[in-house]
Structure 1
Amino acid sequence: MKLTREQALAYVKPYLKPERYEHTVRVADTAIELASRFGVDKSQAELAAALHDYAKYMPTNLMERWIKQDRRLPKDLLHYHHELWHGPVGALMLEQELGLEDEAVLSAITYHTTGKKHMSPLDKVVFLADYIEPGRNFPGVDEVREIAETNLEQACALALKNTIVFLISKERTVYPDTFHAYNDLI
């Protein structure tokens, strides 16, 4: 199914809080900029970014059921914070509900929070757009934005490093895909 930006945003809007919807619009805008800068398909980047947080506020028990029932989802997700679930579960929900078939877009949605080893350029663009969109304001984001002007891989590596350091400082678990993504990029 081919969705326009407007259709994708209209689809996710009822499922998002107003501030999360505005974040989503900014992520889509940032993804287009990054895609243009780094030679990635802009329509795929825009679509993945517009849909990336679709399942963000889905009930935890619903997402848990998806993880338990769908053989494509790693069961180890259940041992990590539920904040990580919305990407992979959302991608499957969009595949089923919207008939979204673009594997590259589905992958970018799936890994927009954790990253993974061997991320595609589209995966990196959506991951980074979510991290650096203009509404984000936390230690280290400006340095990542600066690097993102010229180097997609280095910007993603620093974003992953910052995420790992933050989680460790809060004594929270780090999903293995995040370590694998970081190691792969450095």
Structure 2
Amino acid sequence: MRLLDNREELLVRVRQQMHEKRYKHTLGVAASARELAERFGADPDKAELAGLLHDYCKCWPVEKMFEILVRHDMPTELLEGEKELWHAFAAAIVIQTDLGVTDADILQAVRYHTTGRAGMSLLEKVVCVADYIEPNRDYPGVDFIRAKAMYDLDAALALALGGTIQFLIEKQKTVFPLTLTAYNDLVSRKGREGGF
């Protein structure tokens, strides 16, 4: 747990897990998560820490992630799904076992930052949106999502997840069930409140 108390040591440890471009992205997510947390009332320190740790396993070999996921009885639908999703679930395990992160909010934010899920906490939404809008991101529609995130976190997240779903459909790839339920949950809640 001492590593978490020393930011410089933690940054070194995170940096060792990834290549330079991923590390730059990670710093961008951490800064964006802090900013969103301050704007929407989540804990800024937790948001920044989750941002720093969200891609902890992203650059690891898929075989190593698979071994971790199997050892921790992850669902078959995850193991048989897109390998791009594995890093988030593996990171939530690894940061707990190797770095001593015990805060359930942070672990959940890391675990669901790629898939989302129905009933996401404020911190989970903050980290997920931060991952989509951090300053180094450049994809069609990112500026619109960034603008929406200035005043409506749920709308920004629904737009981001909707874009991911559309992209996966266009590429004829499967959409992970949690992503669909996260999107449907956001849209149905907003519909009850009068829409986006």
Sort the TM-score into its range (normalised by shorter chain): over 0.9
Alpha-carbon distance in structure 1 between the residues aligned to 2:144 and 2:56: 28
**2:45 aligned partner:** 43
Deviates more, 1:42-51 or 1:10-19: 10-19
Give deviations 1:112-165, integer Å, cap 9, x for gaps. Answer: 111111110000000000000011111111111110000011110110000000
Q: Is the 8 A contact 1:88 1:109 kept in 2?
A: yes
**1:31 aligned partner:** 33
Extract unaligned runs of 5+ from structure 1. Answer: none
Give deviations 1:70-120, integer Å, cap 9, x for gaps. Answer: 13x222111211110000111101110111100100000001111111110
SS of 1:90's partner is helix
Q: How does 1:67-106 map to 2 (within 5 A)?
A: 67-71=69-73, 73-106=74-107
Runs of 4+ that moved beyond 4 A: none
Taking structure 2 as the reference length, what is the TM-score of the superposition?
0.91
Alpha-carbon distance in structure 1 between the residues aligned to 2:6 and 2:186: 32
Taking structure 1 as the reference length, what is the TM-score of the superposition?
0.96
Letter in 2 for 1:148: A
Cα shift at 1:167: 0.7
Cα shift at 1:63: 1.0
Alpha-carbon distance in structure 2 between the residues aligned to 1:171 and 1:23: 27
Cα shift at 1:4: 4.7
**1:21 aligned partner:** 23
**2:191 aligned partner:** none
SS of 1:138's partner is coil
Larger Rg: 2
Extract unaligned runs of 5+ from structure 2. Answer: 188-196
Give deviations 1:156-178, integer Å, cap 9, x for gaps. Answer: 01100000001101111111000
Alpha-carbon distance in structure 2 between the residues aligned to 1:134 and 1:57: 20
Q: Is the 8 A contact 1:153 1:185 kept in 2?
A: yes
Deviates more, 1:56-65 or 1:31-40: 56-65
**2:67 aligned partner:** 65
**2:155 aligned partner:** 154
**2:8 aligned partner:** 6
Alpha-carbon distance in structure 2 between the residues aligned to 1:166 and 1:19: 23
Alpha-carbon distance in structure 2 between the residues aligned to 1:37 and 1:155: 14
* Identical positions, percent: 48
Alpha-carbon distance in structure 2 between the residues aligned to 1:151 and 1:3: 32
